[in-house]
Amino acid sequence: MNIHTDRRSILGGLLASPVLSMAPTAGKQKSRGGLSTLTDLDFGCAVQARHVLVDQGLRETILKECDTITPELELKWDFVESDKGQLNLAPAQQLAQIVTDAGKKLHGHALVWHKSTPAWAIEAILDQREWSIVTNFFDAIMPPFSKAIDSWDVVNEPIETGHGEDGLRNSFLMRAFGADYIERAFVDARARASRADLYLNEFGLLDAQSYSSAKRAATLRLLERLVSRGVPIDGLGIQGHLDLKRGPIDQQGVSNFVQKVADLGLKIRISELDVREASPDIPQTNRDQEVANAVAALLDVVLPFDNLTGITCWGISDRYSWLPPLSITAGLNRGLPLDSDLRQKPMYWVLENALRQRKPSKSSDRV
C-alpha cells in the first residue's frame, strides 16, 4: 500500500481528525511564513489576473502562500479566443510574469473543457469534425507558457454518469470525435509539453450520495482504459468543491478510490478546493469552524497518500470567490482560507497543519 500510515486509523470520523485536532481554535490566529514554505507538497490557489493586477494585498498574499497559481479564466479557450483567430493572451502573460518573477509556477487550466469552448469552435467542430481545430488552440496556448507552466488540466470534467458510453459526458466533443477525444487530447498535449504533468480534472467525486460513487467508478474505468492504452496521463485532479448542504464526504469511498488511482501509477492533486456554506443563521465563528471541519475531513483522507502532489484552493480570499454570498444578511460565503480582508481563518490553519504533517520542510528556517 502506497501510503504513509494505516488509513484505518485516520478514518474514525471527524472528531478523530488529526488535521482538525492540531488546528488552533478560532481567535488564536497564527502568523507564519506562508503555506508555500512548509513542505514539498505543492500549495496553490486560483486567481483572476485582473484582481491580482489591481490588488496589491492579494498579489503579495498569493506569492507568499502559494507554490503554484492557477489562472481561473485566462487560459480557457473562450477567454483566449472568443473570436476565431483573435488571441487574447495578455492577461495570462501578465500573471505568468508576476508568478515566475517570484520563482513560482502556473498550473494550466484547462485545455479541453466543453464549457469553455467558444461558440464558433463548437459550431466548427460539429460541422467539420476536424481535431486540428482543437490542436490549433493547443498551439496557441501551450508554447507561450512552456516556461511558466509545468502542469496542465488537459481534459476537464469529461464524466457524466446516467447516460452515454462508459459514463462519459455526452458533450459536443463526444458527438464529434467519440470517446477517443480524451486520448487524443493527452497525446497532443504531451507532444507540446514533454515535461509537464498532465491531469484529467473532475468534480463530484467526494460525496456520500450514489451519483458520486457512480462518478468515482466511471472515472476509474476511464483512467484504467487510458493507462492500459499507454496514454500519457500523469494524474487526476480531484476537484474539492465541498458543499455543506450535501453532508459529509464519503471518507472510506474516497480513500478506496484514491488507492485505486495510486495503484494505476497515477498522481492525484486536490484541485479547486472551496466550501459552499449552508448555515446563514449561526455565529460566524461556528460557520468558519464548519468550513474548516469539512476541509479537514477531506485532507485526512488524502494526506497519507504518497501520490498526492498538491492542494489548490479555488481562490484564496472570500472577496474573490466564484461562490455567491451565503445570504443578504450573512454576507459573503466564507469558504476559502482567508476572509475578505485577507485574514486567516480556521480553514487556513487546517491547511497549515495538514501541510506540516506531510513530508520534511522545504525550508530550514520555518518557525
The 10 Å Cβ neighbour count of residue 363 is 11
The owner of cell 462518478 is 215
Q: What cell was used for 40? A: 514539498
**Nearest to ligand G3I by Cβ — which residue?**
322
Looking at 74, 207, 272, 300, which residue binds ligand G3I (CB under 6 A)? 272
- Considering only residues 322, 330, 340, 361, which one is a binding residue for ligand G3I as defined by CB under 6 A? 322
- Residue from 41, 49, 73, 338 in contact with ligand G3I (CB under 6 A): 73
User: In angstroms, what is the minimal distance from the CB of 175 to ligand G3I?
Assistant: 21
190 binds ligand G3I (CB under 6 A): no
In 3D space, the residue among 313, 164, 155 whose CA is nearest the CA of residue 232 turns out to be 155
- Residue 347 in the binding site for ligand G3I (CB under 6 A): no
Is the CB of residue 109 less than 8 Å from the CB of residue 157?
no
**Between residues 305 and 314, which has the closer beta carbon with respect to ligand G3I?**
314
Stretch that binds ligand G3I, among 71-79, 192-200, 256-264, 357-365 (CB under 6 A): 71-79
Burial of 50 (0-12, 13-18, 19+ CB in 10 A): middle
Taking the C-alpha atoms of residue 304 and residue 264, their distance in angstroms, rounded to an integer, is 17
Q: Which stretch binds ligand G3I (CB under 6 A): 36-44, 72-80, 170-178, 253-261?
A: 72-80
Contact window for ligand G3I (CB under 6 A) among 13-21, 70-78, 221-229, 288-296: 70-78
| Whole-angstrom distance, CA of residue 187 vs CA of residue 171 | 20
Shortest distance (Å) from residue 246 CB to ligand G3I: 15
Number of residues that bind ligand G3I (CB under 6 A): 9
Chain centre to alpha carbon of residue 343: 22
The whole-angstrom distance between residue 232's C-alpha and the CA centroid of its chain comes to 20
Site for ligand G3I contains 300 (CB under 6 A): no
Name which of residues 74 to 93 contact ligand G3I (CB under 6 A). 76
292 backbone dihedrals φ, ψ, rounded to 5° = -65, -40
In 3-state terms, what secondary structure has residue 122?
Answer: helix
Q: How far is the CB of 326 from ligand G3I (least distance, A)?
A: 17
The label of the residue with cell 486509523 reads: 9
Specify which residues 159 forms β-bridges with. 168
Q: Are 206 and 242 in contact (CB under 8 A)?
A: yes
Closest CA to 69 of 295, 248, 314, 359: 314
- Least CB distance to ligand G3I at residue 46 (A): 7
The contact pattern for ligand G3I, residues 124-163, with x = CB under 6 A and - = no contact, is --------------------------------x-------
Least distance from ligand G3I to the Cβ atom of residue 19, Å? 24
72 binds ligand G3I (CB under 6 A): yes
- The CB-of-239 to ligand G3I minimum distance in angstroms stands at 6
Provide DSSP, 111-137.
EE-GGGS-HHHHHHHHHH--THHHHHH
Smallest separation (angstroms) from ligand G3I to the CB of 73: 6
Nearest-5° Cα angle at 325, 321 to 331: 115
- Name the residues annotated as catalytic: 157, 272
Q: Is 116 in the site for ligand G3I (CB under 6 A)?
A: yes
* Whole-angstrom distance, CA of residue 32 vs CA of residue 39: 14
Q: Which residues bind ligand G3I (CB under 6 A)?
A: 72-73, 76, 116, 156, 203, 239, 272, 322
